[in-house]
Amino acid sequence: MKKILLFAIAFSLLITLYSCKNPPNALDDSGLAEDTAAQQNAEEMGQGSENTQAGEDPSPNKNEEIELQTDFDEDSDESTPQPGDIVEIVDSMRVNMSVDDMYEKSDIVVVGEFDGVSYTVVPDDTKDENTVGTLFTDQVVSCERVIKGDAQGDIRVRRIGGKTDDRNLSSNDPELQEGKQYLLFLTAGPSVVEGDTENYKIVGGLGIFPIDSDGNLDVSSQDEQDAQRLLEIYSQQ
Amino acid sequence: MKIKKILLCVCFLLVFSIALSLIAMSYNILLFNGTENRGIKNRYIVFQSWSGFTQETRWAIDYASRQWNNRTGMTILYHSATQHNSNYDNEARDYKNLIVKVSKGLDNAPMTTHAWAELGSDGYYYIIEADIVVNADYPWNNTGSSTCLDVQNCMTHEFGHMLGLENVDYPVDATMYKSTHNGDLEKRWLKQDDLNGFNYIYR
């Protein structure tokens, strides 16, 4: 019996240790070597040089990488990512906001369903200097109930991110799931192309609350006070 | 009876281990095109601050980068002595890693990281450039005042993105926790979860 217990304890400890994936202070020799090499490289490059770039690979394996890429290209499928492809990500920090703040800052508060229609919007560089070079995706939401403000029919909920022929940008802005209902706190989005109206973005990146198939609002991410306030807002007609 | 007790003990230990594992793995890795990244390609990145920052803000940025270097034992973030003059963010790849301060409006986030990554022949993405944008429309300071956002606090978080980490929902005191508030200083110091995420990528 003792043997079985010992085995169980050892097994449990192994799982726990494995999940921790190397304790942070266990710097191995290779880590130190990399560190020293990086420092030497940085000194050689001269900190602050105009050519400073994290992406330039000084390793002798560069030719090997190019050869590999050529091999892939022979049978290439354009939609399949190839070595050397570059993608982008925009990650934004959120500021904590109470439900009352969210409501206050919203131009409209709606209950709506995302029917899966979305498309990339490439801003016109002359429209808004804050959006130059960004890509957006508009997600079409059909409004079922308007709690605050004025909205009818379909509205577009805009998030940072999108794909064009030569760019692939993702972000941590909330992404709606097809066929799901949401309570949305929205503020008017920036006008980035000619005739760009009726687009909205989610307040603070936080004003999105899923509704399950029985019509129950998911308030599990909120504290008691905010959960209560959300339910009050949701029940407004 | 004895066998039942043993089985119960084993089950308890397994559940305990799995729970511990889940807690230990709460860090998230930035996904590029749905694929995990393996950190900064060259294992170091040199970034430049905007020349318009005050000396205190430059120090705050410096302390934030040193927090990652010192706590992980790997010097990856190099704060260049040269400053840049761009007070705009053109969101384009320019082969420089810049920290800029731009008026983006209170509708937008207080701080944002824009990173570019290249797909390696091993099937993972490697970060090749990253810029951090400070939104000038938010109230900032370097003292942890309860009416302002703290530069060092937010910058430590953004450096985590530069290194390849994603926001977490838990633990709430982690540097990579998804949100902040005025007077928040908790993110200035890396927690075990942040270090676990870093180690997953770089070790």
Confidence at residue B39, expressed as pLDDT on a 0 to 100 scale = 97
C-alpha distances (whole Å) from A71 to each of A57, A140, B35, B103, B117 are 20, 41, 21, 46, 21
What is the three-class DSSP state of B76?
coil
Integer-rounded Cα radius of gyration of chain A: 25
The domain tally of chain B equals 1
Work out whether strand B31-32 and strand B35-40 pair parallel, antiparallel, or are unpaired.
antiparallel
B63-112 pLDDT, tens digit per residue, is 999 999 999 999 999 999 999 988 766 667 888 999 999 888 888 899 99
Report yes or no on B4 lying in a domain.
no
Confidence at residue A214, expressed as pLDDT on a 0 to 100 scale = 95
Q: Who's near B134: CB < 8 A, 6+ residues apart?
A: B99, B100, B101, B102, B110, B111, B140, B151, B154
Instruction: State which residues of chain A have pLDDT below 50.
Output: 20-76
Report yes or no on B9 lying in a domain.
no
Which residues on adjacent β-strands are paired with residue A36?
none
What is the three-class DSSP state of A230?
helix
Amino acid letter for position A85: D
Q: Who's near A51: CB < 8 A, 6+ residues apart?
A: A45, B95
Confidence at residue A53, expressed as pLDDT on a 0 to 100 scale = 43
Confidence at residue B63, expressed as pLDDT on a 0 to 100 scale = 98
Burial of A115 (0-12, 13-18, 19+ CB in 10 A): middle
Cα–Cα distance for residue pair B179/B167, rounded to 1 Å: 8
Report yes or no on B83 lying in a domain.
yes
Indicate which of B3, B89, B99, B199 best probes the interface with A, i.e. most A CBs within 10 Å of its own CB.
B199
Q: pTM, whole model, 2 decimals?
A: 0.79
The A residues from 57 to 96 touching B (CB cutoff 8 Å) are 57-58, 64-65, 68-69, 81-96
The CB density around residue A20, as the number of other CB atoms within 10 Å, is: 18
Average pLDDT, chain B: 91
Beta strands in B83-181 (DSSP E): 97-102, 111-119, 125-135, 140-141, 149-150, 165-166, 179-180
Cα–Cα distance for residue pair B79/B90, rounded to 1 Å: 21
Nearest Cα residue to A201 out of A173, A177, A222: A173
List the structure tokens of A9. Answer: 């304890």
Q: At the topology level of CATH, where does A99-235 sit?
A: OB fold (Dihydrolipoamide Acetyltransferase, E2P) (2.40.50)
- In terms of residue numbers, what domain contains B151? 28-202
The B residues from 114 to 153 touching A (CB cutoff 8 Å) are 114-121, 125, 127-130, 138, 149
Confidence at residue B105, expressed as pLDDT on a 0 to 100 scale = 87
Q: Which residues of B touch A41 (CB under 8 A)?
A: 42, 44
Work out whether strand B149-150 and strand A199-202 pair parallel, antiparallel, or are unpaired.
unpaired
Report yes or no on B22 lying in a domain.
no
Closest-CA distance, B61 to chain A, in angstroms, reads 15
Cα–Cα distance for residue pair B152/B80, rounded to 1 Å: 17
Confidence at residue B90, expressed as pLDDT on a 0 to 100 scale = 62
Report yes or no on B17 lying in a domain.
no
List the structure tokens of B67. Answer: 């927090």
Cis preceding linkage at B139, omega within 30: no
Beta strands in chain A (DSSP E): 86-92, 94-95, 108-121, 136-148, 154-160, 162-163, 168-171, 181-188, 199-202, 208-211
Which chain A residue has its CA at the smallest distance from B2's CA? Answer: A1
Confidence at residue A49, expressed as pLDDT on a 0 to 100 scale = 36
Are B17 and A172 inside 8 Å of each other by CB? no
Q: Which residues of B touch A48 (CB under 8 A)?
A: 46, 48, 80-83
Domain ranges of chain A: 99-235
C-alpha distances (whole Å) from A235 to each of A104, A143, A218, A224 are 17, 16, 13, 17
Q: Is A122's Cβ below 8 Å from some Cβ in B?
A: no
One digit per residue, pLDDT tens: chain B, 203 residues? 677 777 776 666 666 666 655 555 699 999 999 999 999 999 999 999 999 999 999 999 999 999 999 999 999 999 999 999 887 666 678 889 999 998 888 888 999 999 999 999 999 999 999 999 999 999 999 999 999 999 999 999 999 999 999 999 999 999 999 999 999 999 999 999 999 999 999 98
Q: Which residues of A touch B77 (CB under 8 A)?
A: none
Work out whether strand B97-102 and strand B165-166 pair parallel, antiparallel, or are unpaired.
unpaired
Are A89 and B105 inside 8 Å of each other by CB? no
Q: Is B20's Cβ below 8 Å from some Cβ in A?
A: yes
Which CATH number covers residue B155?
A: 3.40.390.10
Which residues on adjacent β-strands are paired with residue A140?
A156
Burial of B28 (0-12, 13-18, 19+ CB in 10 A): middle
Long-range CB pairs of A95-101, under 8 A, 24+ apart, other chains included:
A95/A204, A95/B109, A95/B110, A95/B138, A95/B149, A95/B179, A95/B180, A95/B181, A96/B179, A96/B180, A96/B181, A97/A203, A97/A204, A97/A206, A97/A207, A98/A225, A98/A226, A98/A229, A99/A222, A99/A226, A99/A229, A99/A230, A99/A233, A100/A229
Burial of A52 (0-12, 13-18, 19+ CB in 10 A): buried
Q: Which residues of B touch A68 (CB under 8 A)?
A: 121
**What residue spans of chain B are helical by DSSP H?**
2-24, 55-72, 151-162, 192-202
Residue in this structure with the two tokens 């949305």, named with its chain if needed: A184
Confidence at residue A77, expressed as pLDDT on a 0 to 100 scale = 54
Are B30 and A48 inside 8 Å of each other by CB? no
